[in-house]
Amino acid sequence: MRRIGEFFFCAAMAVFALCPALAQSGEPPGRQMTPSKAFETLVSAPAPHKSVSAAGAEKIQMDLAHQALVDGDFEKARALAEPLAGKNNPAANHLLGYLYEKGLGVRSDIGAALRHYGDAAIAGDVDAQIALGVLAFEGGGVYPDYERAAGWFRLAAAQGDPRADVKLGIMYAEGLGVAQDSVTASNLFAKAASKNDPDGDFFLGVAWMNGDGLPQNYKKAAQSFSRAAEMGHAEAAFHLAMLYDSPAIGAPDAKKAASAMRKAADGGYAPAYAAMGLIVHRGDAPGVAADWFEKGMRAGDPHAALLYAVALSRGDGRAQDRIAALTIAEQLIASRETPDALRAQASDLRRSIARVSPNAFSLRD
């Protein structure tokens, strides 16, 4: 899947001299590929427990096992689940599979995890089917098997689970284990969205925005992002803010953009910190821009780190500290994770600091 590019971000919010070059992502606006982290996060999240029909004492025992899992008492959870797994209780097998997969209260054992998940999945446990799909997609410590992953996700989707619809949709969008088919992908996202799944609405919004399997329609993209954001999807709130800040859905609305971006930042979506700082810096929201840039840097966002270095170098929202600014710039230049365009920005900042302070810095400085 492709997602919104840097076009709206820098066109609407460039306030520092360095910002325009941040838009030079190398992809046409609005057509960038979805970062792998987004899919990684989606497929790696543990499947939430669904209540299971079990009779009397078994149900009570499984409820206690799940509560022990939530409470972090993994040994108790295992002790309660093991006898029921011996009776082929699918929920117990799913719980044990999760403990062995994650190494919670036991030594991590992917073979044991697969056995327990497999017994639960064959018995129709949808959470176990999704867990097996995730392990197949990620390789389960060996190698990925996308076709097998798609098979497990299909079984879960046949039971009406929207998480499986989303996972299958992403596989169709990327052509992983299935023939690439944007129309099928968008239909699966819409199916999940109709069941109030926030990821379904988010990826449906991406499809509308980029015209992947659907006619490009920014207003419908905004509607999907808005629904997902209301359900707590921070990345959807980020994209919604970008649309509000651009002319894509009408006259830019700085107030709505600031509100949606604040929701994305409060939800922990790292790129939102830099964007929120820029909104604050231009005067469309209260606060200190450097505070947001620093939060973004600490969250690992390189754009926020660069903007924080700029703020330090100029004494904008912080006491001027060119040494600290130079240190951040050097770290960005040295990191293999820094995008090339951003590394060039950091190099420019380093040179600008050197021009202001031509004498070499020493450890004493």
Looking at residue 158, which CATH number applies to its domain? 1.25.40.10
3 state DSSP class of 32: strand
Q: Count up the domains in the chain and report the number.
A: 2
Mean pLDDT throughout 267-291? 97
Residue from 85, 141, 144 nearest 115 by CA = 85
- Mean pLDDT: which of 27-36, 41-50, 76-85 is highest? 76-85
Give φ, ψ of 202 to 5 degrees.
Answer: -60, -50
Last residue of some domain: 164, 186, 213?
A: 164
Mean pLDDT throughout 234-255? 97
Query: What's the pTM?
Result: 0.80
Mean pLDDT throughout 204-209? 98
Last residue of some domain: 164, 191, 219?
A: 164
**Measured between alpha carbons, how far is 86 from 248 in angstroms, rounded to an integer?**
58
pLDDT for residue 355: 84
Average pLDDT across the chain, whole number: 86
Q: Is residue 295 part of a domain?
A: yes
Are the C-beta atoms of 45 and 130 separated by less than 8 Å?
A: no
Confidence of residue 56 (pLDDT cuts 50, 70, 90): confident
Q: Is residue 2 part of a domain?
A: no
**Higher-confidence position of 7 and 108:** 108
pLDDT for residue 250: 96
pLDDT for residue 1: 53
CA distances from 145 to 51, 116, 127, 140 (A): 30, 19, 19, 9
Mean pLDDT throughout 53-69? 85
Q: Is residue 104 part of a domain?
A: yes
- Residue 97's Cβ-count burial label (10 Å; 0-12, 13-18, 19+) is buried
Q: Is residue 97 part of a domain?
A: yes
Location of structure tokens 């989303």: 166
Domain with 79 in it: 36-164
Confidence of residue 33 (pLDDT cuts 50, 70, 90): very low
pLDDT of residue 91 exceeding 90, the answer is yes
- Stated as kind and residue range, the H or E segment containing 2 is strand 2-3
**Measured between alpha carbons, how far is 3 from 211 in angstroms, rounded to an integer?**
10
**Measured between alpha carbons, how far is 150 from 5 in angstroms, rounded to an integer?**
29
Q: Catalogue the long-range contacts made by 61-70 (C-beta closer than 8 Å, 24 or more residues apart).
A: 62/89, 62/91, 62/92, 62/95, 65/92, 65/95, 66/91, 66/95, 69/95, 69/98, 69/99, 69/104
Q: Is residue 140 part of a domain?
A: yes
pLDDT of residue 102 exceeding 70, the answer is yes
Q: Is residue 317 part of a domain?
A: yes
Q: Is residue 271 part of a domain?
A: no
Q: Is residue 224 part of a domain?
A: no
Mean pLDDT throughout 236-246? 98
For 292-330, the pLDDT digits (tens) are 999 999 999 999 999 999 999 999 999 999 999 999 999
pLDDT for residue 356: 75
Last residue of some domain: 164, 190, 207?
A: 164
**Measured between alpha carbons, how far is 168 from 157 in angstroms, rounded to an integer?**
8
Confidence of residue 141 (pLDDT cuts 50, 70, 90): low
For 220-235, the pLDDT digits (tens) are 999 999 999 999 999 9
